[in-house]
Structure 1
Amino acid sequence: MVVLRGCEILEALKLLSADKVPVLQVDSSKVKVRSLQPGLKPITLETVIKAGIEGPRLPYRSFDAQIEEVPNIEVSLNELSIWKKVKERRLRVYDNTLELLYKDWPTPLVKLQSFSSEERSVWAKLEGANPYSNSVKDRIGWSMIMSALEEGRLGDILYEATSTNTGIAITAIANLLGRKARLFIPKTIQKASDVFLKVLGADVVRVPVGLTIEAIGEVDARSRAEGATHLNQFENDANFKVHLKYTAKEIDEQLESRGLKPDCIIGGLGTSGHMSAVSIYFKSKYGDTVKIIGVQPAPNEVIPGIRRIETGMKWVHWVDFDQIIDVKKNEAIEGALTVARREGLLIGLSAGAVFYAFAKVAEDKGVYVLIFPDTGYKYAEQFEEYFHSVQQC
């Protein structure tokens, strides 16, 4: 049993995580409201009532209220419904590490408050919440491997060309299935990637190319000659399918839970799997009321995880993009820094490019979804180089 009294009632209910709230009826003439923050326009009972009915909300702890002759309320904790059973998924208990991935979907969709307003809401889809590579690539690693396993073509050794994240995802899942991974990484990718992959037990081969896709021919030939399974994220439809079945649908249902539908979705183009699936899903459901924007590196720029359309993408040609935006590497880094310093999220360079593109096209109204593919922890070298270059200017 808990006893609640006076103005402490709401705070007590909040601390108890109560789902049900006792209701009191009082004579308004016996309610006294006092402003607590100097400099604000005096707050009256009428102001409080109007804010509660019409909004906007009053600033936190901007007033207090004293009510004469408030009776004590005796209510059991059970009546407040604080013992409501927590859903199993929220408890986050798993029978194996593979369940960490697919049983914890959807990944979070979070409102970026510092970039939102009363008429504009900006949401970030945080694919960095995936457990292995901390990136969107966990989805395709799982999908490609499970598809190959079901089709009876998953060999003992998996080959893949990767810029980092897909390689981490494939190696992690391969470990769980008793397989080995050999990964082919372009010379332009940060050295830290080799360390992460070797920790997981992958065989890492550096190849003298600038873009991951430029290594596909060599990887395909070597996998055939050596009897390995080449998953090939650039051509494997399991990539596209997992995003159509899960990623796009998650975004839709997450927004629907807040009574929203997107006006604009922005994401980077790498294999083009996730943004092509997002385009097909939302264009099919909502038509041209949803704007789909792809982000690619500017000419002669290298941003890990994304590339230019003309380098060859399978699924991007199946769908309609309303706009493609070019972003320079330093602009992507600056986008990541802005998000980190305004929202506290350490995002990767491709996510920084997505944010930079948003900043270029954003209007004052609408519902925007930014797909952030990964976190920023793998990109210390690029951040360090940027800070050094800024100091030299």
Structure 2
Amino acid sequence: MSNLSFLSKKGAAASKSPMRIDLEIYYEAMENLYHPETNPSGALPMNVAENHLCWEMLRDRIQKVTRENTIPEWVASYTDPAGAPSFREATAEFLSKFLMHVPVNPDSLAFSGGATSTIEMTSFLLANPGDTAVIPAPSYPVYSGDIGTLPEVKRFDLQVPSKPINSEYQFDLQLLQEAKEKIEANGSNFRMLILTQPDNPTGRIYSESLLRKIADWCIQNQIHLIVNEIYGLSQLDIQNPNLKAFYPQASPFVSFGKIMSEYQSPFLHFWYSFSKDFGISGFRIGLLHSHNEDLIQAYRNAGLGHSISNYTQWVIQEVLLDHGFLKTFFESFQQKLTESYLIVTQTLKKLNIPFNPSRGSLFVWMDLSEFLEEKSLKGEEKLWLEIYEKTGILITPTNGFGHSEKGWYRIVITSLSHEELKVAMKRLSDFIQIKRKG
């Protein structure tokens, strides 16, 4: 008898469904990491969205907190499942000063253990099983599991016009109306629209005017609009002399939190996590911001099992209160992020490899369709494996992004140091040149 017979239906399904298809190879690569002296032919994993660029700065600041401060009494006790009051206050100040630039009410925030937990909890509380969440494609593959495994919400990939020459999303709201009609014709309910900005994987942003139009449409149709700004401070310096010419009429980045503050609508929500901008994915801190008081209360009532460690809340709270450090930290991070972006994109330009101009995030979305033996999922997977086997570079496979165009791949630009990134680009250049020679 199979062990699966002892599981629930969801348990059996989960046992057969890996979180992402590249994890096994990722673990293999992590056991064989590149080192310039001891392992010069080692692997260079660039598939997992981690930011290692300024960890040393943050680690030093965290060590200062733990060395110079006495742990408060509340850390050892239960606290509000939505987040300790002092932690919510420190985070509200941080969001207000560095991202949203409007006052943020601490009572509009609810926390849980990482972005995945926040997405799962929000989906569970806003949508019924069988409802549909619409997500512009290409987009984060693991959204499917986050909204689907426990909340049982379906994913609908909205195919928006692909314009690699543009770093901003531009699409007609008629696409949303058509999606709504199609979803309802299939017996489901268009319950949620999820946007990410800067986007994963394209790095695009939404102009303030488009965000307002989308918000108006969602409110009118009683659809919950959630904007995920997990990369909100992972912005490129588009005034850099090597980049400025590529963004001649760029719209300013405007946080959705600013629009929410004005609208005060129960249908508008915001996600954030400290994983990417701060480079502390292992700390597991995700948050929901909403002016829907019932949603925040529901999050508090149902979220005890998703709570963040009080010790983690206290340590990060102390870091967040040091605005002088945060200013220096993000200036350094954005400078290093821009340098990483230039190392990758200047290589791609020399190789005449198309890519989507980015405004932020940790990625470059590049078009390798020239090298596909066939424009199919099978062809994409074969090329992805060939790149890894011949170069040691592990990029993110295309499976799950929901993109109708074949041959686009995501490359994480913040998981390696600048020197390691140059090694990776040299290997990629050699691979492409050999492929073109046939």
Higher radius of gyration, 1 or 2: 1
In terms of fraction of residues, the more strand-rich structure is: 1
Q: TM-score, normalised on structure 1?
A: 0.31
Q: Which has the higher contact order (CA 8 A, sep 6+)?
A: 2
Q: TM-score, normalised on structure 2?
A: 0.28
